[in-house]
Amino acid sequence: MRRLLLLTLLLTMIFGCGTVKNSLENEVKKKEVRSEAERGEEERSIEAVVIYDLDIDFSKESIRALEIYNDEVIGIGSSKGFSILNFKSINEVVHVGSTVEDKNDKGEVIKTYAFRSVAFNEDSFFVQSIESPASLYKCNLDLDCKLVYEERHEKAFYDSVEFWNDKEGIAMGDPTEDCLSIIVTRDEGETWNKLPCSTLPKVAEGEAAFAASDTNIAIVGEQAWIISGGVKSRVFHTSDKGKTWEVVETPLVQGTGSQGGYSIDFFDAQNGFIIGGDYTKAEDDIANKAITNDGGKTWQLIADGQEPDYRSCVQYIPNGKGNELVAVGFRGISYSNDFGKTWKKLSEESFFTIRFLDASTAYAAGKGRVSKLIFK
């Protein structure tokens, strides 16, 4: 059996017809730009989102991992491989894609690797496949890649990867023993080591995580928080970049394999948010959102029984006060400007994951699509 990494290069016009038909260029020209000083202390309220689909054929891919490197480069991971999108101008993007396949001696494809975890450090792009052999690659921005970690275990299933800094990073996955699978690097991603269960909290039977949006890990400073889900949904915390760990309960719905927390984000070292629910009962909005104001020591339900229902990803809007959040899922895009107490549904459009470039611009991905979102 041979493993092959296949590279494709496409030069593509960037935006096709999205939710709104006018061109991005015209939108940018019309967009009012105001300085922070001009905004003063007024509370912003977003009323709409304009969605521009990238005119790239992702129709055969489910995309659950997306990270922004800078204002010109984003990386994605999908059911068919991984890609770098390099925005050369306002209307043009270079799409470099890679597929990892196993082939038999006859040259027939017997497995295509799916990637649901991606991350950047200073000059490299990291992509991790989900199932055994769970394979973590370190790539440059031209997608010249090398294998830096591999785990062969029938239960191996990796969900998310993040970096504290350019040298130190963390990835997590479902248990193969009686603890979460957590691997760390201290040398810029050249080598990764799995933490022994003796150093980690024990998991409950049926406790795992959801590879739904590559947002199982949140990092602030030297801290990291991990959200689990399933029969048990808790938050695992390290204050020293993975050397020691503790775990706390959450009030999220839990008890079956499809329930619990799907996504976690922190605005700063004290204020965080978790969201999820039950994707098999996606209209339910009971016990699917919780907030912390003490660094994750305790969590309280918020907006219980209110919008939004099941969501796979939540993100704080950057450069603000921590009062603005956006949550996405296959049932739409929701927004709060009061720390998650109340929400408004901005769109019915389906996305699995989202990342912000600035306070008004984000990229989101889902089934067969990557889109640029302008919040107004």
Cα 213–166–140 angle (5° rounding)? 75
Enter the pTM of the model: 0.91
90, part of any domain:
yes
Q: Are 161 and 169 in contact (CB under 8 A)?
A: yes
Residues 303-325 as b/e (b if ≥16 CB within 10 A, e otherwise) read: beeebbbbbbbbbbbeeeebbbb
What is the rounded CA–CA span in Å between residue 333 and residue 327? Answer: 6
Q: Is the pLDDT at 2 greater than 60, yes or no? A: no
Mean pLDDT of 179-194: 98
CB 301 within 8 A of CB 290: yes
Residues 6 or more apart whose CB falls under 8 angstroms from that of 93 comprise: 11, 12, 13, 14, 54, 56, 85, 86, 87
Which pair of structure tokens corresponds to residue 65? 């991992």
Direct distance between the N- and C-terminal alpha carbons of the chain, in angstroms, rounded to an integer: 52
Do the domain assignments include residue 26?
no
What are 155-173's pLDDT values in tens digits?
Answer: 999 999 999 999 999 999 9
Domain that holds residue 63: 2-18+48-375
Mean pLDDT within 213-222: 98
Could you list the beta-strand ranges (E) of 90-198.
92-103, 109-112, 115-120, 125-129, 134-139, 145-151, 158-163, 169-173, 181-185, 193-194
pLDDT computed for residue 91 by the predictor:
74
Tokens found for residue 145: 């890649």
| Average pLDDT value for residue range 317-332 | 97
Q: Would you say residue 194 lies in a domain? A: yes
Q: Per-residue pLDDT averaged across 330-356, rounded?
A: 98
**255 belongs to a structural domain:** yes
Residue 169 lies inside a defined structural domain of this protein = yes
Banded model confidence at residue 20, pLDDT cuts 50, 70, 90: very low
pLDDT (0 to 100) of residue 4: 62
The full 3-state SS of 11-42, as one line of letters, equals EEECECCCCCCCCHHHHHHHCCCCCHHHHCCC
Residue 71 vs residue 278, higher pLDDT: 278
Backbone angles phi, psi at 360, to 5 degrees: -125, -5
Q: How many residues does the chain have?
A: 376
Stretch 231-236: mean pLDDT, rounded? 98
Distances (CA, A) of 276 to 139, 233, 290, 308: 31, 10, 9, 10
Closest CA to 340 of 289, 296, 295, 279: 289
Q: What is the pLDDT of residue 54?
A: 95
Closest CA to 217 of 229, 204, 226: 226
What pLDDT sits at residue 25? 40
In this structure, what CATH number is given to the domain that contains residue 201?
A: 2.130.10.10
Q: What is the pLDDT of residue 107?
A: 87
pLDDT value at residue 21: 31
Q: What is the pLDDT of residue 15?
A: 46
In this prediction, what percent of the chain has a pLDDT beyond 90?
Answer: 85
Asked if residue 39 has pLDDT above 80, the reply is: no
Quote the CA–CA distance of 59 and 25 in Å, as a whole number.
25
| Helices and strands (DSSP H and E) totals, the chain | 2, 32
Q: Which backbone phi and psi does 202 adopt, to 5 degrees?
A: -75, 150
Residue in the block written with tokens 């660094």:
295
Structure tokens at 274: 């978790």
Count of structural domains, the chain: 1
Cβ-contact 265, 314 below 8 angstroms:
yes
Residue 151 burial by CB count (10 A; 0-12/13-18/19+): exposed, middle or buried?
buried
CB 35 within 8 A of CB 336: no
**Whole-number Å distance between alpha carbons of 70 and 368:** 23
The average confidence (pLDDT) of the chain is 91
For tokens 């096709």, the residue is 16
Report, in this order, helix, strand and coil percent for the chain, each rounded to 5: 5, 50, 50
Residue 305 pLDDT > 70 = yes
Mean pLDDT, residues 179-205: 98
Mean pLDDT (whole number) for 331-354? 98
Q: What is the pLDDT of residue 42?
A: 62
Q: What is the rounded average pLDDT of the residues 351-376?
A: 98
- Of the pLDDT bands very low, low, confident and very high (cuts 50, 70, 90), residue 1 is low
Q: Grade residue 89 by pLDDT with cuts at 50, 70 and 90.
A: confident
% of the chain surpassing 70 pLDDT: 89
Tokens of 304: 């219980």
Q: What is the pLDDT of residues 25-37, one digit of tens each?
A: 444 333 333 334 3
Strand-by-strand arrangement of the 229-230 sheet: 207-208, 229-230, 259-266, 272-278, 289-292, 300-301
Q: Where are the alpha helices (DSSP H) in the chain?
A: 24-30, 36-39
Residue-level pLDDT at 90: 63
The pLDDT, as a whole number, for residue 56 is: 94
Q: Which of 39-48, 207-216, 276-285, 293-302 has the lowest mean pLDDT?
A: 39-48
Q: Would residue 328 count as lying in a domain?
A: yes
Specify if 343 maps to a domain.
Answer: yes
Which is nearest to 296 in space by CA: 337, 247, 244? 247
Please report the pLDDT score of residue 3 as a whole number.
62
Domain assignment of residue 29, yes or no:
no
